[in-house]
Amino acid sequence: MQSQNTLLKQDSHHVWHPYSAIHADTPIYPVKSAQGVNITLMDGRVLIDGMSSWWSAIHGYNHPVLNQAISAQLQDMAHIMFGGLTHQPAVDLALQLVKITPKPLQTVFFSDSGSVSVEVAMKMAIQYWHAKNQANKQKLLTIRYGYHGDTFAAMSVSDPVNGMHSLFSNTLIKQLFAEAPNCTFDQSCAAEDIAPLENQLKEHHAQIAAIILEPIVQGAGGMRFYSPEYLRQVRELCDQYDVLLILDEIATGFGRTGKLFACEHANIAPDILCLGKSLTGGYMTLAATLATREIADTIRDGKPGLFMHGPTFMANPLACATALASLKLLLDSPWQETVNNIQQSLTTGLQACQQYEHVKDVRVLGAIGVIELHQAIDLKTLQPKFVDAGVWVRPFNKLIYLMPPFIISDEQLNKLIKAVCKVVAEIEY
């Protein structure tokens, strides 16, 4: 194995990292291995993972059950095209997803990333209305502070200011935006919270194919938690104005908020649902877009009579087999109790950060803990402090947040929380 210095030099010259540049001056840490909730660096340091590898590794790393699922599937095939062919892992996974998601969702389209699942959902909505001879319904409506991915259509419905796509403003599809609600998770939804969205619907519903939202928790656009009552009212408005509802549960699905899916907090069902990230337990990339039977049948019966999308690695057998194993691990575990215990620990432990003048807010929902600062952090200086404290936390903008793997022990979680609180206390502006 080459030395760490050689690896870093080669990485710096040739490898692009997310939201970064070649020869970037932000620190990069070479990883040797990962086991459970621990990340072992090449220099021997061991870090407790507070991010679940961007919210996906809910069972931690190198899990024997998931390893076995991959090994077993490899004996049959690693991949096979999905055009004109099918296989047991894909069918079984589709059946399982239909079983555990809201009842109206009966059809499954597989893709290979969360961003693509959003693209698929948007295309489904537009093609649905085209098949119903309402081709003028082409626009998407959403709220500020959202994030739905980095591909072009997904960027077009992400926050136009915080969504990091102002550079592409002249290229992106022009969508409709409403102010996000100010009602927090534990509050009721006032008239002024829903009014901006309702006004957009009143004025533009004839051009709107769908509303797209992250239910209850807005992720990378601001880590904001909003009232379930708001989501219930959005569902009612979609029905009233004949607009589809797309829910992006890529970050919130599979137990992260304390419900299996965040829309369950509002007891509503979308017309289209996007899933990804922890679908495979963070092992490999796979996403799914679920739709109602009515949407699927309408697209089938319209012109051209088929849905116009087809990724090369759609329904990859290795990924589907791993997803099935991951879902069984989750559903067979006391995951509600586990997430509730994580929530209690995060609530108790992170509240100490509220005392600091540079901290604007501390909020927790399920296995999500957020510390919002008044000013943006300097990742270049803050990231090494977390690593020196023995934890892996990847803050952004004004936010330091935790989404640990569900398998984290009480001792590990307490160490993670204490490390974060210590670093927050030492922040200077």
Active-site position among 19, 76, 303, 378: 19
Residue 410: active-site member = no
Q: What three-state secondary structure class fits 109?
A: strand
Contacts with 371 (C-beta within 8 Å, 6 or more apart), sequence order = 350, 353, 359, 361, 362, 399, 400, 401, 420, 424
Are the CB atoms for 58 and 406 separated by under 8 Å?
A: yes
Residue 248 falls in the annotated catalytic set: yes
Given the residues 137, 248, 271, 283, the one annotated as active site = 248
| Residue 50 DSSP class | S
Catalytic residue among 137, 277, 398, 401: 277
177 - beta bridge partners?
Answer: 142
DSSP 168-235: GTTTS---EEEPPP---TTS---HHHHHHHHHHHHHHGGGEEEEEE-SSEE-TTT-EE--HHHHHHHH
Q: Are 240 and 202 in contact (CB under 8 A)?
A: no
Catalytic residue among 61, 147, 226, 401: 147
Q: Is the torsion defined by CA of 416, 337, 182, 218 positive or negative?
A: positive
**Catalytic residue annotation:** 19, 147, 248, 277
